[in-house]
Every structure is written in structure tokens, then in C-alpha cells.
């Protein structure tokens, strides 16, 4: 039977490439976007290559939009084999400079919206006794650094959620996978939001250094198609691992984290990020 996939945030970057990879592999793919006008490019490719990609409107920040989208999908296809929780964005600025409402907005998309989608899709997968939920975390979901605590903590939260969910759903034959990309060359860095530092903020310099650093790394970033390839590989494995790392940068940092004590790693990261 034809397999069915849902991907959030399909307008660009990792979500866009993942939709194409899944559809090229034969999945009937629901490419969800918050603004359907931005789906023209993917629709053109789908038409040209005769891919089964259907656009569904879904804003991860809007509970009603999520319910409507999942209901629409279930009225068309009675099964869901793969859910890729990809939609997300980055908020930069120190803990003291980011207003609490902006911290919450970051968590709304990168964390709470994902819970809401899972609450609607997991019962379907549980009844099927099959399915894979792929959560797009980040190397920033395992390593904290200054300048982006809202983004980092939203991804740390997603890691914890995914680990718990893996046990809860695993007993019903539903798999949960975390993807941890390093720096990927996408629109992420042009869409990221930067909190205005307070006039007397002592964090302006360190935040600017981090933003400049990640933007420079992004120029040489891993292509999003590599993340899509890893996602496809993970969902096709009989027993997928809990985590898949993508990119040499992510591999290097996470290997160092595994090999060192917390204090050793902190000193290592300070030297890597802020060489004197
Ligand atoms: N790029 C990296 O270096 C990197 C590294 C690690 C992890 N990640 C993660 O990878 C995921 C995809 O990011 P990307 O790099 O591919 O960036 P991207 O090209 O900016 O794509 C982000 C996607 O998320 C969508 N989105 C944002 N907020 C949304 C909302 N409320 N509802 C629905 N869709 C929403 C965007 O839609 P619009 O077009 O409408 O804005 C876009 O389709 C994110 O979760 C990000 O945290 C990225």
C-alpha cells in the first residue's frame, strides 16, 4: 500500500528537500506550509517529476490550523506512516535581552506546536501499530552556548520530549527519531530574529560575535538535501537509532562532548567559539 508522509515547514530548506526526497521515494507526501503562496516552487517540481505532493495549510503556532490540517489529511488518507516535525525558526539574544513573550513565541513553534501535532497523529499511528515520527532538533539541542538561549532551550526541550516519546510509543510499534543537523545552508539565517539588546546590555558584544560566527559558518554549511537523505535513511531502517547527526561540524562538536567531562567541554567550546 502507498505510504503517507506529512512534513511541516515545506516552503524551504530542510522541509522542502525532505518533501522531495520522500515523494521521489514513492511516499504520498503532504507538504504543509503556513502560507500556500510560498508553495509554488515545490508544486512546479512535483508536476514536472510527477510526484505525489499535496499542499496543506498548517501554521504550527495555531492550534485550530493544526486540527484542520490533520483532519483534512485523514479524510483523504486513512493512514499516516511518517511525520516530520521540521518547521522552526531561530531567536537570537541573551536571556536578559529577550522579552519573555518572545521566548514563549520561540517555544510555541519549536516545541508546543510539535506536541500539538503529535497529540493528533500519534493515536493514528498507535492504532496502525506502525509509523515514524521524526523531530528536527539541532546540534543546539545538545550543546548550549551564549547568544541564542531561547532557540537552544527549545531544542533541548524537543530532545527530552522525543526521548520520552520513544519509550511511550515504542511499545506500540511507533518509532521516534531525532535529527541533529549542524549548520545547514538554508533560509534559517536570513529568517532568524534578533532581540534588540537593552540600551545598557552587557551581552551585545558576545551575541553579535555568535551571530556573526553562525552566519559565516552558514556560507559553508551542509546542503539541506543531506539532511533529507539522512531522514529517508532513518525512516527506512527497521530499528532506527534514537539520534542521527548531520554535518561534519555537528559530528565534531558532539564527539568532543561525548569524550570530555562537562568542564573540559566548556573550556574546549570557549576556545572554539571565542579564540583569543
Ligand atoms: N539551518 C540550520 O543550520 C539548522 C540547523 C539545525 C536545525 N535546524 C532546524 O531545521 C528546521 C528547518 O529549518 P531550515 O534550516 O530548513 O530553515 P528555513 O529554510 O528557514 O525553513 C524553515 C521552515 O519552517 C517554516 N515555519 C516557521 N515557522 C512556522 C510556523 N509557525 N508554522 C509553519 N511553518 C513554519 C518556514 O515557513 P515560512 O517560509 O512560511 O517562514 C519554513 O518553511 C528548523 O526546525 C530548524 O531549527 C536548522
pLDDT (tens place) for every residue of the chain, 276 residues total? 899 999 999 999 999 999 999 999 999 999 999 999 999 999 999 999 999 999 999 999 999 999 999 999 999 999 999 999 999 999 999 999 999 999 999 999 999 999 999 999 999 999 999 999 999 999 999 999 999 999 999 999 999 999 999 999 999 999 999 999 999 999 999 999 999 999 999 999 999 999 999 999 999 999 999 999 999 999 999 999 999 999 999 999 999 999 999 999 999 999 988 877
Half-sphere exposure of residue 130: CA atoms within 13 angstroms, side-chain side: 11
Residue with cell 556573526: 212
Distance of CA 250 from the midpoint of ligand 1 (Å): 18
Q: Is 131 in the pocket of ligand 1 (CB under 6 A)?
A: no
All three cell numbers of 58, joined, read: 498548517
- pLDDT value for 271: 92
Q: Is 61 in the pocket of ligand 1 (CB under 6 A)?
A: yes
Residue with cell 518533501: 19
**Atom 45 of ligand 1: nearest residue by CA position:** 88
Q: Is 32 in the pocket of ligand 1 (CB under 6 A)?
A: no
CATH class in words for 4-273: alpha beta
Q: Over the stretch 63-84, which tens digit does the pLDDT of each residue have? A: 999 999 999 999 999 999 999 9
SS (H, E, C) the chain: CCCEEEEECCCCHHHHHHHHHHHHCCCEEEEEECCHHHHHHHHHHHHHHCCCEEEEECCCCCHHHHHHHHHHHHHHCCCCCEEEECCCCCEECCCCCCCHHHHHHHHHHHHHHHHHHHHHHHHHHHHHCCCEEEEECCHHHCCCCCCCHHHHHHHHHHHHHHHHHHHHHHCCCCEEEEEEECCECCCHHHHCEECCCCCCCCCHHHHHHHHHHHHHHHHCCECHHHHHHHHHHHHHCCCCCCEEEECHHHHHHHHHHHHCCHHHHHHHHHHHHCCC
Distance of CA 233 from the midpoint of ligand 1 (Å): 21
Q: Is 35 in the pocket of ligand 1 (CB under 6 A)?
A: yes
- pLDDT value for 252: 96
**Atom 8 of ligand 1: nearest residue by CA position:** 138
| 270-276: long-range pairs with CB below 8 Å, 24+ | 273/145, 273/209, 273/210, 273/213, 274/206, 274/209
Amino acid at each position: 500500500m502507498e505510504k503517507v508522509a506529512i512534513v511541516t515547514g515545506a516552503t524551504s530548506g530542510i522541509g522542502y528537500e525532505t518533501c522531495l526526497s520522500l515523494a521521489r521515494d514513492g511516499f504520498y507526501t503532504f507538504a504543509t506550509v503556513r502560507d500556500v503562496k510560498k508553495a509554488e516552487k515545490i508544486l512546479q517540481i512535483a508536476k514536472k517529476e510527477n510526484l505525489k505532493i499535496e499542499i496543506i495549510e498548517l501554521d504550527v503556532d495555531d492550534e485550530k490550523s493544526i486540527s484542520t490540517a490533520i483532519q483534512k489529511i485523514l479524510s483523504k488518507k486513512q493512514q499516516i506512516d511518517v511525520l516530520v516535525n521540521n518547521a522552526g525558526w531561530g531567536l537570537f539574544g541573551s536571556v536578559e535581552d529577550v522579552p519573555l513573550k518572545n521566548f514563549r513565541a520561540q517555544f510555541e513553534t519549536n516545541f508546543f506546536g510539535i506536541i500539538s501535532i503529535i497529540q493528533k497523529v500519534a493515536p493514528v499511528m498507535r492504532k496502525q501499530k506502525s509509523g515514524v515520527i521524526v523531530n528536527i532538533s539541532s546540534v543546539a539541542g545538545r550543546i548550549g552556548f551564549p547568544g541564542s538561549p531561547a532557540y537552544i532551550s527549545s531544542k533541548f526541550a524537543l530532545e527530552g520530549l522525543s526521548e520520552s516519546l520513544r519509550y511511550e510509543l515504542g511499545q506500540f510499534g511507533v518509532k521516534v527519531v531525532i535529527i541533529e543537523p549542524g549548520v545547514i545552508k538554508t533560509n534559517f539565517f536570513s529568517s532568524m530574529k534578533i532581540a534588540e539588546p537593552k540600551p545598557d546590555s552587557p551581552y551585545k558584544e558576545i551575541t553579535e560575535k555568535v551571530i556573526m560566527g553562525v552566519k559565516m559558518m552558514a556560507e559553508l554549511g551542509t546542503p539541506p538535501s543531506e539532511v533529507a537523505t539522512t531522514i529517508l535513511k532513518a525512516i527506512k531502517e527497521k530499528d532506527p537509532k534514537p539520534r542521527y547527526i548531520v554535518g561534519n561540524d555537528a559530528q565534531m562538536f558532539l564527539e568532543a562532548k561525548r569524550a570530555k567531562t562537562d568542564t573540559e567541554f566548556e573550556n574546549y567550546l570557549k576556545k572554539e567559539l571565542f579564540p583569543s
